[in-house]
Amino acid sequence: MVDLINIAITSIFIENILLAYFLGMCSFLAISKKIETAIGLGFAVIFVNTITAPANWLINHYLLDDGALAWAGYPTVDLSFLQFITYIAVIAAMVQVVEMVIDRFSPTLYASLGIFLPLIAVNCAILGTSLFMGTKGYNLTQSTVFGFSSGVGWLLAIVSMAAIRTKLRYSNIPMGLRGLGITMIVTGLMAIAFMSFVGIKL
Amino acid sequence: MSPADTAENSVITSSVSIFGKKERKAAFDPMWDNNPITLQILGICSALAVTTAMKTALVMSISVIVVLALSNIIVSSIRNLIPAKIRIIVMLSVVSSLVILVDQILRAYFLDLSKQLSVFVGLIITNCIILGRAEGFALQNKPWTSFLDGIGNGIGYSLILIIVAFFREFLGKGEFFGFAVIPESFYSMGYQNMGLMILPPGAFIILGLLIWLQRSLSGKFEH
Amino acid sequence: MQRQGNFYIFTFAAIVCIIVSIIVALSATALKPRQVRETRLDIVRNILSVSGLSEDEIQSMNPDEVLSSFQKNFSPLILDKNNNQTERTELETPLLGLGYTQEELSKMYAFELVTVFSKKIPLLAKRAGQSVNDFDPGYKLVFLNMKDNDVFQYILPIDGYGLWGMMYGYVAIDRDLVTVKGIRFYKHQETPGLGGECEKPWFTDQYIGKKILNQNGDFVSVNIVKGKAGDFYSGQDLDHYIDGISGATITGDAINAFLKDDITKFEPYFQSIRTGTGGEK
């Protein structure tokens, strides 16, 4: 149990998937202008991440990994080179399902998210989570917690950024820095703030 | 993909030229005027993580240029055959296969670099530039023009990556391409490497300043 | 884009799947031998480096020279959890039962064989009807660096979790089984400039000449100090401590922990050699 809490705290604060690993920036930059849309997108990311991490783990463990096909009688086969394409296919399929669910239950949210919903499929943070859980060697429960917490960390970063940008709306920013430039610098300062969590051990 | 871009793309040309106006525009625009990172706001994700050293930035750049150019050619060649409903997943399949190829080749011939890049090679798949250009350009244009667009965007991307990597490596480690360039005497006088440059915040800040510079110079601002 | 019916969509999708699978699978299988060789060379170069060869010497050797130098001068020794010497065949036989051919097993270097075996332990345990703990023979590997038919150095693999991820390395211990002759970290995810300094010569060279046993013969390992070792210890005590990396205390603590753990695993074996009750062949 403690290791799960450790994983959660680490992936939300210390190894924040956006502020420490730079993943998920594209949609982050474009959608962080309004807090409501940021929150909506954040929750969508958490949801997709929490489903795809264990799904990909299962596929890797029972089909792709070195020796995974032992149950079918092929213990020496190593299909791990198919990870990239399988993971992204699973993610794209899940996003399609989430899209249909949101459209059915909350057409307003669907309308405000617009094109960014299908863009979650190519959100580096989601593919990154699936790939990282492999390099960190997590088991099924750990991967699910990791998926959920990475999503929460991403939500935290994007909502904070939306809040900051709302405040910045009436500031006098130099022409060249407006939009992307100042967002980058603010993100840098946020990243410094999050670095204060490094070294926390439970 | 700005509205101006899409308008250009839907112009039908009847002539096939190698380096006509349209082809030159496809190749050279993205290198500066319409830089994918600083202006189109694409491809930032995997950009920042690999810029701690110029060597890794260079390998990443080359990989992206190769995947981008090839994916553009392939998607453009089959653009009239792809069913609309599954076009995103078809493009993703093309890009993923190319990335798997690149990853396998790196592991076989450049193991050192492959280890340093680790999962970020795989993340090329989700690099917004590649899908952005496939969807926004290759689907509506001929293979050769799409190839040039891929090369142009790839080079524009690489430019930013390498500049950011240069500053991060020089200020943060005192090195250039892995070779120490700051003389020992500076260190003994009290000069210290700016460690923050190597950490994530450094990447964000340098990129922000670079964007400021690039936009001021090219005159393309956001409002 | 024309509208197409479902039949077209399915056929198109199927064709794309087939073409993609063929290309990807072909490249993976065609490049696999080369990849295995590169990984092998990487590990061997690291072992040569920790044993004292300079980077220039290693770079000047072509791949075949690197491998033949390794096979000539380094003898792998597999020990089980009771520190009994184990022959290769003990690992090969269960793996043959899984479907590996004798040919591919014989081509593997000892360290590759141990790695493959370790990965298959859960599967082998299930087949034997035992729990993983009961089945696990606890194989560990040490490389004996030979000179004139005598052991010159012992090289042990070390690994453990650093600040950001797993760290892997080797430590070389002199034939007296007390003095450290070298250490290398060849794979890690520590922050460049901070924990990443662990790969730099200024750090690793400090280990050379340090002693893992103190004057009373107790095992104390070699520890990284926060700050300068000379500020806290002097005389013979200094034999067991080295300067820390500023800003990288956590990495230092991690290294201390897994270095100690990994040498401890071999301590019973080393002790048997020191007292002359055991021996290597």
Give chain A's end-to-end CA distance (angstroms, integer).
11
Task: Show the domain range for C83.
Answer: 49-135
Pairwise CA distance, residues C212 & C180, whole Å:
7
Residue C32 lies in a domain: no
Contact B215 A123 (CB under 8 A): no
Decide if pLDDT at B223 tops 70. Answer: no
CA distances C70 to A29, C49, C143, C145, Å, are: 52, 11, 10, 9
What Cα–Cα distance (Å) separates residue A73 from each residue in A69, A76, B25, C99, C124? Answer: 7, 9, 56, 9, 13
For C198, residues 6+ apart whose C-beta sits below 8 A from its C-beta are: C167, C185, C188, C190, C204, C245, C248, C251, C255
Which 3 state secondary structure label does DSSP give A26? Answer: helix
Predicted confidence band of residue B72 (pLDDT cuts 50, 70, 90): very high
Q: Give the range among A88-92, B175-179, C38-42 with minimum mean pLDDT.
A: B175-179
The count of structural domains within chain C is 2
Determine phi and psi for C234, rounding to 5 degrees. Answer: -145, 170
Is the CB of A85 less than 8 angstroms away from the CB of C24? yes
Express each pLDDT in C142-151 by its tens digit.
Answer: 899 988 888 8
Residue A136 identity (one-letter amino acid): K
Interface test with A, best of C26, C31, C35, C98 (most A CBs within 10 A): C98
Give me the pLDDT at residue A154, please: 92
What pLDDT, in 10s, does the model give residues C78-132? Answer: 888 888 888 888 888 888 888 888 888 888 898 888 888 888 888 888 888 888 8
Q: Mark whether C115 and C177 lie in a shared domain.
A: no
Query: Are residues C128 and C79 part of one domain?
Result: yes
Where a domain ends, among C135, C160, C193? C135
pTM value is 0.82
- Residue A192, SS3 per DSSP: helix
Residue A162 half-sphere exposure toward CB, CA atoms < 13 A? 21
pLDDT of residue C281: 40
> In this predicted model, what pLDDT tens digit does every residue of C53-82 receive, in sequence order?
888 888 888 889 999 989 888 988 888 888
Query: Among residues 150-169 of chain C, which lie with CB inside 8 Å of chain A?
Result: 163-165
| Rounded mean pLDDT, C28-48 | 90
Residue owning tokens 């050379």: C208
- Nearest-by-Cβ selection for A75 from C20, C123, C165: C123
CA nearest to C161 within chain A: A136
Looking at the domain assignment, is residue C7 inside a domain? no
User: What number of CA atoms fall less than 13 Å from residue C140's CA on the CB side?
Assistant: 19
**Which of C88, C108, C135 is the last residue in one of the domains?**
C135
Per-residue model confidence (pLDDT) at position A201: 62
**C74 and C153 inside one domain:** no
Q: Is the ipTM, as predicted for this complex, more than 0.90? A: no
Q: Do C28 and A67 touch (CB under 8 A)?
A: no
Asked if A22 and B45 come within 8 Å (Cβ–Cβ), the reply is yes
Among C80, C100, C135, the domain boundary falls at: C135
DSSP state, residue A177: G
Residue A167 neighbours by CB distance under 10 Å: 9
CA–CA dist B12, C72 (Å, integer): 69
Mean pLDDT of chain B: 81
Predicted confidence (pLDDT) per residue in A131-178, tens digit: 888 878 788 999 999 999 999 999 998 888 888 888 888 888 888 888
Residue C157 lies in a domain: yes
C196 and C107, same structural domain? no
Inform me whether the pLDDT recorded for B120 exceeds 70.
yes
Q: How many CB pairs under 8 A join A and C?
A: 25
Listed range (A64-73, A98-107, B97-106, C217-226) with the worst mean pLDDT: A64-73
**pLDDT band with cut points at 50, 70 and 90 for residue B69:** very high
Residue C153 and residue C123 in one domain: no
Give residue C106's identity as a one-letter amino acid code: S
Q: Is B171 exposed, middle or buried (0-12, 13-18, 19+ CB in 10 A)?
A: middle
Whether the Cβ atoms of residue A151 and residue A22 lie closer than 8 Å to each other: no
